[in-house]
Structure 1
């Protein structure tokens, strides 16, 4: 078993990026294997290096953090993307989670919090900065009739599939995780979304936040 988590850092501020690299390299269970200053370069280097976790700034030149995250989740889903941003608006958070990020940390957070977030997402869980998790959970998804949607409407399998969708896992990865066929996972996904009146992955993420599925990893 590898002793250290392999981390990639993408941020367009050299001083911040250098400080982040120094801090993470000092952790006994982490090593920074690469870095980039713009989104397009970050995507290419992550595809080449295949780190365990890519820490990606939301606002970068060339390609936004959201677009970079979408491409990385599509082309190398095994890499966990942790969004890092100065923005605390829930719209940014929902956008990155919908793009496939496994977590979201604000830049004003303590360095120890970032290290914890990296460990959480590397373990296959979802991490939300404590300062933004509360407002997000309070943002409720509603059914077409106007009332809140109930988790009890879902079967256990449908709920589990939607949880993993919300955490950014691809259908093939979910099938492997649950020891199911890809078509079976697609069926559970479609049935669950139909029952809840959800049309997009972003709505699944918001529903998961409402239900507390993503809170605390």
Structure 2
């Protein structure tokens, strides 16, 4: 059986390198290579993919959002995330949204191919669980709206600007901010921003 794989990464050179390496294998066929989450969903509307391999950190729709959309609209398609941030928090988020694997972007083509076969066969490909160095923040669960607010906080937007951008009230923004600080256990704005960067939650 030849596995149909869709590649998603906003870096064209990386996509082309993966495409060449994976297409050389007899049991994997790259059926598309796109640079954005929206393009990936458009491609899936046209043709079936057994596995989507996507970068986590992309402009616009990131890998977590794409994985969640794929789970809702194409539940038969498996999703494998590639990331530069090997953090327990990101691993937990990937599981929560329905991704089937999370690998560092430094993973070799050979290991990536093994992981593609694994998730296509019903397995998962996540890094081993590790003790959290920050008091257990791997259990953090941010809602999609909280993640949007967090990204705008990192961009130094005021509560008023965030409210206008998301079409919500300033009071609602303040509630989201309190929940984000409580969930992440950040003690300051600088600590919150560092947490967001360290866990790959900031869109480039």
Output the TM-score relative to the length of structure 2. 0.63
Are the equivalent residues in 2 in contact too, given 1:8–1:53 (CA < 8 A)? yes
Which position in structure 1 is the counterpart of 2:94?
96
Which position in structure 2 is the counterpart of 1:45?
43
Task: Give the secondary structure class of the aligned counterpart of 1:128.
Answer: coil
Which position in structure 2 is the counterpart of 1:84?
82
Which position in structure 2 is the counterpart of 1:119?
117
Q: How many Å separate the matches in 2 of 1:91 and 1:80?
A: 21
Q: What does 1:12-51 correspond to in 2, within 5 Å?
A: 12-51=10-49
With over 3 angstroms needed to count, the CA separation of the structure-2 counterparts of 1:49 and 1:27, relative to structure 1, is: same
Q: How many Å separate the matches in 1 of 2:126 and 2:138?
A: 18
Q: How many Å separate the matches in 1 of 2:89 and 2:101?
A: 14
Q: CA deviation at 1:10?
A: 0.1
Q: How many Å separate the matches in 2 of 1:62 and 1:54?
A: 18
Unaligned runs of 5+ in 1: 143-217
| 1:135 paired to 2:130 | yes
Are the equivalent residues in 1 in contact too, given 2:51–2:116 (CA < 8 A)? yes
What is the aligned length?
137
Output the TM-score relative to the length of structure 1. 0.59
Are the equivalent residues in 2 in contact too, given 1:47–1:72 (CA < 8 A)? no
In the TM superposition, structure 1's runs of 4+ consecutive aligned residues that sit over 6 Å from their partners are: 136-142
Which position in structure 2 is the counterpart of 1:201?
none
Are the equivalent residues in 1 in contact too, given 2:6–2:30 (CA < 8 A)? yes
Task: Give the secondary structure class of the aligned counterpart of 1:12.
Answer: coil
Which position in structure 1 is the counterpart of 2:187?
none
Q: How many Å separate the matches in 2 of 1:89 and 1:23?
A: 27
With over 3 angstroms needed to count, the CA separation of the structure-2 counterparts of 1:39 and 1:24, relative to structure 1, is: same
Unaligned runs of 5+ in 2: 140-204
